[in-house]
Structure 1
Amino acid sequence: MKTKKLTLCGLLTALAVVLSLVERLFPLDAVVPVPGVKLGLANVVTLFALTRVSARDALAVVVCRVAISSLLMGSVTAFLFSLFGGLLSLIVMWALLRAEGTFCSLLGVSVAGAAAHNIGQVIAAIIWMQTGAVVAYLPLLLVMSVPLGLVTGLTCVIVLSHMKKIDFNV
């Protein structure tokens, strides 16, 4: 069982890294006039991991994804921003998933995770730039969290519905 779980976490990490790389190929800046906005495809993997493995395993997937992605295509600032965003997103989605069905749907969890990711990145920017002025950018990011969080949430819902057809016990 441990081998199966470790393999799944490795596959999820690899998938999240690949999705991060693919996401860079499609600059959303051309369509959305908010610089730095991304689809958040790797968050599909985070949400999936939270629904299928333990929170601790999902945390490992997020941290490994951030580290590998930053080594492949980033910098120290990219690592810091991704780590803060990924961890806050993970915490918020984990907390909301515990109340899924009574409080919010998987789509709501995804939107909240997208918003938390943006908040985490703004916190990282405040720390890195040593100024609170970057908070002025947060409302634009939060507005974009809704449609982009819905896209990632819907993607996860579709993936989960297909996974029901597969024997998937970890």
Structure 2
Amino acid sequence: MTLLALLAAIALTIFMIEAQIPSPVPIPGVKLGLANIVTVFTVFVLGPKEGAAVLAVRIFLGAVFAGNFSTILYSGAGGVCAIGVTVALRKILTKKQLWVAGCLGAVAHSVGQMAMAVALTGTVSLAVYLPVMIVISILTGLFTGLCAQFLVNREKLWKIISK
């Protein structure tokens, strides 16, 4: 339980710091999603329930601390889709293929967020933006997936932390 709290705190801290950094590209809403490194790591090292717990705590407290409760809806929809994909891939990917979970999880996150945006606004034409979001998601997901892969493959590190 202490380890999960630590991982949730790390994910939340990364999320809050990243929220303060201006986007490197002039496209609204684009960010690396660095907190997802912690979620992917947790799913692959500790398990799906633990990963979902870390994700839920990060989304809820991130919205509380940022003062933006619509974040719960968008991040929640994206997070549920992303963790679903990550959990499904957990059984078939090797430790050298975790970057795939990063990419596909990021794409699923974008699809979930877009679905929520369309549902809330009733504006189906928002989906025009989805191809751009998917390309960006693949690139950012590759980065976060490779970071998670690096951490998962450092068994000595996380075995020391989990004691």
| Fold equivalence (TM over 0.5) | yes
Pairwise CA distance, 1:161: 3.0
SS at match of 2:63: helix
5+ long unaligned stretches in structure 1: 1-5
Q: Write the distance in 1 (CA, Å) between the matches of 2:114 and 2:33.
A: 16
Does the 8 Å contact 1:114/1:146 carry over to 2?
yes
- 2:117 matches 1:125: yes
Q: Write the distance in 2 (CA, Å) between the matches of 1:86 and 1:47.
A: 11
- 2:132 matches 1:137: no
Equivalent position amino acid for 2:2 in 1: T
Counterpart pick for 2:73 among 50, 72, 80: 80
Corresponding residue of 1:105:
97
Does the 8 Å contact 2:97/2:149 carry over to 1?
no
Pairwise CA distance, 1:139: 0.6
TM superposition outliers: structure 1 runs of 4+ over 4 Å:
none
- 2:89 matches 1:92: no
| More displaced stretch, 115-124 vs 157-166 | 157-166
- 2:6 matches 1:14: no
Equivalent position amino acid for 2:75 in 1: S
Q: Write the distance in 1 (CA, Å) between the matches of 2:158 and 2:34.
A: 22
Corresponding residue of 1:43:
36
Q: Write the distance in 2 (CA, Å) between the matches of 1:113 and 1:74.
A: 26
5+ long unaligned stretches in structure 2: none
Counterpart pick for 2:106 among 101, 114, 122: 114
Listed one character per residue, the Cα deviations across residues 134-166 of structure 1 (whole Å, up to 9, x for unaligned) are 111111100001210111011112222334345
What RMSD over aligned residues (CA atoms) do the two structures have, in Å?
A: 1.9
TM-score by length of 1: 0.88
TM-score by length of 2: 0.91
Q: Write the distance in 2 (CA, Å) between the matches of 1:125 and 1:65.
A: 20
Q: Write the distance in 2 (CA, Å) between the matches of 1:85 and 1:74.
A: 19
Equivalent position amino acid for 2:18 in 1: E
Listed one character per residue, the Cα deviations across residues 71-117 of structure 1 (whole Å, up to 9, x for unaligned) are 0104232110010111110000110121103xx91111110001011
Counterpart pick for 1:64 among 32, 41, 57: 57
